[in-house]
Amino acid sequence: MSNEHAESVKMVKLILKTTLWLSIITIVEIVAAVLLTDLFVKNNMLIVLNSFYIIMSLAKAFFIVSVFMHMKFEVKFLALTVLIPMGFLLFAVITMLAEGNSWLEMRNY
């Protein structure tokens, strides 16, 4: 009984820690959006800010998948079964966005 209780307390602490990290990352994103957007737009460096948002979103996705979807506790190959198709999907989305932008530029030419 005490072993189950200890594991339960450990899991609750992990969930609270993860929630805290997700909150901190979200607050940093909001502060960056409010305070830095005008600065980066004026200096034509919006790609840097957008890259920052993408990296922060991937960090949040990592925390959510690893803790709340229990991938951190799964067998390695089961996790790879989920993560590899996700990587291919991300690659496909990036490729389609680049291709669509190329078509848009050709159309405007």
Q: What is the pLDDT of residues 86-100, one digit of tens each?
A: 889 989 999 999 998
**45 φ/ψ angles, rounded to the nearest 5 degrees:** -120, 35
- What is the domain extent for residue 101? 74-109
The reply to whether 59 and 89 lie within a common domain is: no
Structure tokens at 25: 């990352």
**How much is the pLDDT for 26?**
94
The reply to whether 20 and 51 lie within a common domain is: yes
Model pTM? 0.66
**Measured between alpha carbons, how far is 2 from 30 in angstroms, rounded to an integer?**
42
The reply to whether 84 and 38 lie within a common domain is: no
Q: What is the pLDDT of residues 66-83, one digit of tens each?
A: 888 777 777 778 778 878
Over range 25-34, report the average pLDDT: 92
